[in-house]
């Protein structure tokens, strides 16, 4: 239930606008219907699921595509099909490779002021069923922690940490219990400007 406050904090600015929303993970279609209601009739909603039965949940304003979020070729075709994405919600299989491959393939397809939202990231702590494990390399949480460094790469003095597309296109990252959010933006090298009257000569 705590997701709803987080949704509203990050999604409210898209309401009533002609936005493209992609959700990985349809299940019985409940969230697609909720998004259609929340974002309004100008939004175009795409659901993606590996289960072909989810195709039954298409309706005006809601498209459903069948595919596997760990299949890079499928994700490339999906990105070309849907165009710039204003909001991507990953609520699919929640496996480590699924979350990381989807981010690697679709983050670039999110619009310059868009949002990338990953749910149920607690699976990063569950070893048996999801391939997680506390501080285990290869979990989505460890991947995200490394991206914190990449966000700050402007200030790096190390050759191992250099400005890249993520640094240039990510305005902020937000960590909640079980949710990680990336807010995009066009970021340029930070400037340091002093203001006020100088009070000391040195």
Ligand X SMILES: C[S@@+](CC[C@H](N)C(=O)[O-])C[C@H]1O[C@@H](n2cnc3c(N)ncnc32)[C@H](O)[C@@H]1O
Chain contacts with ligand X (rule: CB under 6 A):
23-27, 30-31, 48-51, 68-70, 91-93, 98
Q: Which is nearer to ligand X, 143 or 166 (CB)?
A: 143
> Closest Cα partner for 118 from 18, 44, 7?
7
The residue (of 47 and 114) whose beta carbon lies closer to ligand X is 47
Report in angstroms how near the CB of residue 60 gets to ligand X at its nearest.
Answer: 19
Q: Which is nearer to ligand X, 25 or 114 (CB)?
A: 25
Q: How far is the CB of 139 from ligand X (least distance, A)?
A: 17
**Active-site residue flag, 94:** yes
What span, in angstroms and rounded, lies between the C-alpha atoms of 8 and 191? 32
Position of minimal CB gap to ligand X: 93
d(CA 42, CA 84): 15
Q: Select which of 28, 94, 155, 174 is catalytic.
A: 94
CB of 193 to ligand X, least distance (A): 45
- As beta bridge partners, residue 47 has 23, 64
CB nearer ligand X, residue 55 or residue 173: 55
CB of 68 to ligand X, least distance (A): 4
Q: What are the residue numbers of the active site?
A: 94
């Amino acid at each position: 239930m705590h997701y709803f406050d987080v949704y509203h904090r990050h999604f409210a600015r898209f309401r009533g606008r002609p936005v493209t929303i992609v959700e990985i993970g349809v299940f019985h279609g409940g969230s697609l219907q909720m998004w259609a209601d929340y974002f309004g009739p100008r939004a175009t909603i795409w659901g993606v699921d590996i289960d072909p039965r989810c195709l039954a949940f298409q309706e005006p304003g809601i498209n459903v595509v069948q595919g596997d979020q760990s299949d890079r070729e499928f994700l490339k075709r999906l990105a070309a099909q849907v165009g710039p994405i204003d909001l991507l919600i990953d609520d699919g299989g929640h496996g480590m490779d699924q979350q990381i491959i989807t981010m690697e393939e679709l983050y670039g397809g999110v619009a310059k002021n868009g949002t990338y939202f990953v749910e149920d990231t607690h699976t990063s702590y569950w070893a048996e069923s999801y391939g997680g494990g506390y501080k285990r390399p290869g979990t989505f949480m460890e991947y995200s922690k490394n991206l914190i460094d990449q966000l700050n790469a402007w200030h790096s003095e190390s050759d191992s940490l250099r400005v890249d597309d993520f640094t240039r296109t990510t305005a902020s990252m937000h960590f909640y219990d079980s949710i990680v959010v990336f807010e995009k933006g066009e970021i340029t090298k930070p400037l340091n400007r002093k203001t006020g009257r100088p009070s000391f000569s040195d």
